[in-house]
Chains A and B, each alone.
Chain A
């Protein structure tokens, strides 16, 4: 194999065997060409499936979405497009629903991400100890993640139901007035965050656990020799040891929070889910996109929301980069 490759690359032709004359020569030449294609082309062929699928299902929709967002177009009549340039973006900027949805996305994002990552960290720390049936607990912490959003959200919707839900029943038994979880702003946002926290805490805990197990045991030994308590060990050895994983989970959670959609949609159910409550009290950007596209059938405006969401993410990460650079310069 190796020798034939060098020959093919240098273009050196071995003498044709007598009798075959020209036919043999072209056959060899063809096989050399195929060979060269094989060596040079095969890697591209191997990676091609991903890029073709990416082009068809990610890049093309992205470009097409930006094209649509510059038009006034309805779902029922997709072939009738009216060019409006950046009107949709200007309108979105001045639309109170957009700012409301953006703010809701931020608040729900914060009240779901912060406790979630903290709890995951604690859970991972506990799982990291030697204990009985640790495998069971590790698998158990992944079960919520494996549950579908729809199923989880439906169950939580019943638990948080106003008149006959479990939580209001429990509150009532200790003499607290029932809470209208769906209709009031903060209770609704807390309820939705609960679903998110329940689903993702175990997943993040396992990521942390994997990182924690890579921390050399000697560091803990040294720390305990120095007389550091378990808590001191956690803050001074564990957390610095898994810093990069923490950053990674924050990035993942931020993307997840920006795209939050299924939980509030099912929590509200029907027309209320699409608008994020009668008062839009828990409408996220994802829901606003859905409302514009699949309830009002305004594809242009829907695509504009999609692009605004994308640009927001870019903005967030640019800001994060900038802060990081500034900080390293000052330190």
Chain B
């Protein structure tokens, strides 16, 4: 018994010690499959990391590619929230572990990627059949020495979504052409319409627009330079474009023209469903969100009119990891997914506007209408808006963070802080965040 007992103790102790060591060592991981993809028995596995609704999986494109290329197996992982996704991506890039073969890149992160991670992404420069993009789209993901780190998916030209029934109750025109004319050429006219709306609207309390930050973004993104100048210097506090947008958005906030909501935050979705505001500045990709959250009950009440000025808000890229064991196959897949035909397909299915100039010329895109928005000719409206986007779009490393901080600053104004105090707080916060 004694010997047997001690034998058992020894065995248990050994197992415990080895187990603990394995636990520690195991965290190091192996280096031969940094991206999860690979080739095995003539079968190619390609992994993808995506976020939000990019439309690649949702519209069946990945399945179609697998069907056309039976040797390819695609595994896509989609994060709901881009902020969470990007944080994870940064951690993995820093660790060189846990990456996917193909990674989605949001426009607000493009500059940071091109400046700090260029050597970790494959170069698309000169890849055959990828010369169909809008010129500024490709330049956003290119490094100084001409490396192209990804291919574009969608862009975010803007329009104004509005409630026809509310406009009627306020004695304003309801036809989308006439509504567009109301504020043609100038955002101050849009706010002017808001004042009329507030004065003349008959019925329960309805705000003219959802948020001051929506208006602010629309104005700022209409300029080639926003928070950084071309040399990469911060100009967020001196750029007249930012100051003008801040002043007008503060006007709207102080005069009670906004519903004091924050886009994509709690309260905004029920606001859409219950109709607590009459307009929202909407980039093309926002249409699917509005129709989903406002629901069947409000179908046909919403319509789309041209924005006073063209601007680009949002858009994404697909990049390939340099170390991927299936780099060439992944590049081929990315080129296919972003080809004009596929971009047009995504637009028809969910309304993301193509970044391919060729796709924008596609009659199917040009003549598209949206049933939910009272058959608005969204192809024509957003296509025209895409032409108005400035040909140069200067991005900065911390664009996303700065945008969020300005949105919060305007929320302060909506909550009653004076605009000068809110501006001071905002610029101090940005200085701390990016300095």
**A121 CA to B271 CA in the complex, in Å?**
42
Q: Is the CB of A49 within 8 A of B267?
A: no
Count, A-B residue pairs, CB within 8 A:
112
- Quick one: which of B17, B94, B264 contacts A48, CB cutoff 8 A? B17
Q: Is the CB of B20 within 8 A of A48?
A: yes
**A42 CA to B433 CA in the complex, in Å?**
52
- Quick one: which of B23, B116, B401, B417 contacts A53, CB cutoff 8 A? B23
Q: Is the CB of A275 within 8 A of B401?
A: no
Q: Is the CB of A271 within 8 A of B404?
A: yes
- Quick one: which of B20, B21, B116, B262 contacts A77, CB cutoff 8 A? B116
> Which residues from chain B contact A38 at a C-beta distance below 8 Å?
6, 9-10, 13
> Which residues from chain A contact B13 at a C-beta distance below 8 Å?
38, 41-42, 45-46
Q: Is the CB of A278 within 8 A of B270?
A: no
> Which residues from chain A contact B9 at a C-beta distance below 8 Å?
38, 42
Query: A162 on the interface (CB 8 Å rule)?
Result: yes
Tell me the smallest distance from the CB of A143 to a CB of chain B, in Å. Answer: 25
Query: A25 on the interface (CB 8 Å rule)?
Result: no
Tell me the smallest distance from the CB of A305 to a CB of chain B, in Å. Answer: 13
Q: Is the CB of A1 within 8 A of B271?
A: no
Q: Is the CB of B94 within 8 A of A278?
A: no
Of A105-113, A131-139, A294-302, the one touching chain B: A294-302
- Quick one: which of A1, A34, A35, A75 contacts B91, CB cutoff 8 A? A75
> Which residues from chain A contact B196 at a C-beta distance below 8 Å?
none
Tell me the smallest distance from the CB of A201 to a CB of chain B, in Å. Answer: 25
> Which residues from chain B contact A164 at a C-beta distance below 8 Å?
267, 270, 274
Within 8 A of A (CB), among B1-28: 1-3, 5-6, 9-10, 12-14, 16-17, 19-21, 23-24, 27
Within 8 A of A (CB), among B64-92: 81, 83, 87, 90-91
**A38 CA to B401 CA in the complex, in Å?**
59
Tell me the smallest distance from the CB of A34 to a CB of chain B, in Å. Answer: 8
The residue of chain B having its C-beta at the shortest distance from the C-beta of A154 within the complex is: B266
Q: Is the CB of A52 within 8 A of B407?
A: no
Query: A23 on the interface (CB 8 Å rule)?
Result: no
**A296 CA to B412 CA in the complex, in Å?**
20
Q: Is the CB of B2 within 8 A of A279?
A: no
> Which residues from chain B contact A184 at a C-beta distance below 8 Å?
415
> Which residues from chain B contact A75 at a C-beta distance below 8 Å?
87, 90-91, 94
Tell me the smallest distance from the CB of B12 to a CB of chain A, in Å. Answer: 8
> Which residues from chain A contact B2 at a C-beta distance below 8 Å?
1, 4
- A45-B14, A76-B90, A270-B83 known; A1 and B5 CB under 8 Å? yes
Q: Is the CB of A270 within 8 A of B264?
A: yes
- A38-B9, A157-B266 known; A49 and B17 CB under 8 Å? yes
> Which residues from chain B contact A180 at a C-beta distance below 8 Å?
415
> Which residues from chain A contact B116 at a C-beta distance below 8 Å?
76-77
Query: A179 on the interface (CB 8 Å rule)?
Result: no
**A183 CA to B412 CA in the complex, in Å?**
9
**A254 CA to B152 CA in the complex, in Å?**
50
**A270 CA to B434 CA in the complex, in Å?**
19
Q: Is the CB of A161 within 8 A of B408?
A: no
Chain A residues within 8 Å of B, Cβ to Cβ? 1, 4, 34-35, 38, 41-42, 45-46, 48-49, 52-53, 56, 75-79, 95, 97, 157-158, 161-164, 180, 182-184, 269-272, 275, 278-279, 294-297
Q: Can you spell out 14 A-B residue pairs with CB atoms less than 8 angstroms apart?
A: A1-B6, A4-B2, A38-B10, A45-B16, A49-B20, A52-B21, A52-B24, A75-B87, A76-B112, A76-B117, A79-B94, A270-B262, A270-B264, A296-B401
